[in-house]
Amino acid sequence: MKLGGVQDLKRCEKKWERKGLNVEESIKNFDINFIRIQTLRGEKVVVLVDWAWADRWVTYYGFKIPHHRQMQRTQK
């Protein structure tokens, strides 16, 4: 989410497999109005469509990366 609404599929696969999730299968189960895979410049990418949904999803699965200022607040 912090890097924009479009990410390389291979990068997502590496991150998701650490959590035991198959990125392509998981995305196929979601509504395309939330998230989808498409081809951009010949490469498969994950396109985030609904940012509010994505925020709840990354929080639930523990993928959320806090902003650097939030990190400082949680470490005190």
pLDDT tens track for 42-56? 999 999 899 899 888
Q: DSSP secondary structure string, 24-46?
A: HHHHHTS-TTTEEEEEETTEEEE
Total domains present in the chain: 1
Is 55 within a domain? yes
Note down the domain range covering 44: 6-75
The per-residue pLDDT for 71 is: 47
57 within domain boundaries = yes
For residue 1, tell me if it sits in a domain: no
What's this model's pTM, rounded to 2 decimal places? 0.69
